[in-house]
């Protein structure tokens, strides 16, 4: 299958290591610099670079990467974070599970001692609501290690930050699209090496709003289906 790897990045000192690892596994790389304040070191690396002048959010960066992937002739692309958490060696597991116009999610192993308790709770919270919204069972709805079809560009997605990954999955399912998850290994750095731009107040509020919207949409759909 012809895929490329899209890496959204905002102020990550590890971006070069991440890119080099992906290139060593033979994948084409699209880097989306989402308005970083620090220099993104890609000198002498064979990558496609998309640049946002200001920080627009992870979701917007993924959509910019999707547009570039489509422009390059790819029908699907892998998304990886720039913090070294996702492993290039695990991409093959996503690819093996992929079929046309499908979302494949890397279900991360959360048994590592370095996984924050807040992340474990957040995943359970998110899984509960997404499973309710889609009537499907997913094990890691917050994972950013995924394969997307470029057809997600056709979805009417209104959330462009960390809430993007929830909305795009649910709207894809609402459209009748297939979505599965597969178990993957990943790396969790110790606390002093960890990078996160997730705002525990603002981004959790955004996630709460997107779940409220999606649950309402599901209720209205069921109401129309059963009452008409």
Q: Report the 3 state secondary structure along 170-221.
A: HHHHHCCCEEEEEEECECCCCHHHCCCCCCCCHHHHHHHHHHHHHHHHHHHH
Q: Which residues of 93-115 are buried (b: 16+ CB within 10 A; e: fewer)?
A: bbbeebeebbbbbbbbeeeeeee
Beta-sheet pairing, 102-108 with 178-184: parallel
DSSP assignment letter at 75: S
Q: Does domain 3-227 have CATH number 3.90.550.10?
A: yes
What is the pTM assigned to this prediction? 0.85
pLDDT tens digits for range 47-84: 999 999 999 999 999 999 999 999 999 999 999 999 99
pLDDT tens digits for range 125-149: 889 989 988 989 999 999 999 999 9
Structural tokens at position 162? 């960390």
Q: What pLDDT was estimated at residue 15?
A: 94
């Amino acid at each position: 299958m012809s895929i490329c790897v899209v890496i959204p990045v905002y102020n990550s000192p590890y971006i070069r290591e991440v890119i080099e690892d992906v290139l060593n596994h033979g994948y084409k790389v699209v880097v989306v610099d989402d308005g970083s304040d620090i220099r993104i070191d890609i000198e002498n690396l064979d990558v496609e670079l998309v640049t946002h002048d200001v920080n627009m959010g992870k979701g917007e960066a993924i959509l910019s990467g999707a547009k570039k992937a489509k422009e390059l002739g790819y029908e699907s692309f892998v998304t990886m974070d720039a913090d070294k958490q996702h492993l290039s060696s695990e991409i093959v597991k996503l690819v093996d599970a992929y079929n046309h116009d499908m979302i494949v999610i890397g279900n991360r192993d959360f048994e590592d001692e370095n996984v924050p308790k807040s992340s474990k709770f957040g995943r359970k919270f998110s899984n509960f609501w997404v499973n309710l919204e889609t009537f499907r069972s997913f094990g890691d709805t917050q994972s950013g290690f995924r394969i997307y079809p470029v057809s997600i560009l056709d979805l009417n997605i209104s959330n462009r930050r960390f809430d993007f990954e929830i909305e795009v999955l649910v709207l894809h399912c609402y459209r009748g699209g297939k979505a599965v998850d597969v178990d993957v290994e990943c790396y969790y750095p110790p606390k002093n090496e960890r990078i996160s731009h997730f705002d525990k107040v603002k981004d959790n509020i955004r996630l709460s709003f997107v779940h409220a919207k999606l649950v309402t949409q599901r209720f209205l759909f069921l109401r129309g289906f059963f009452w008409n």
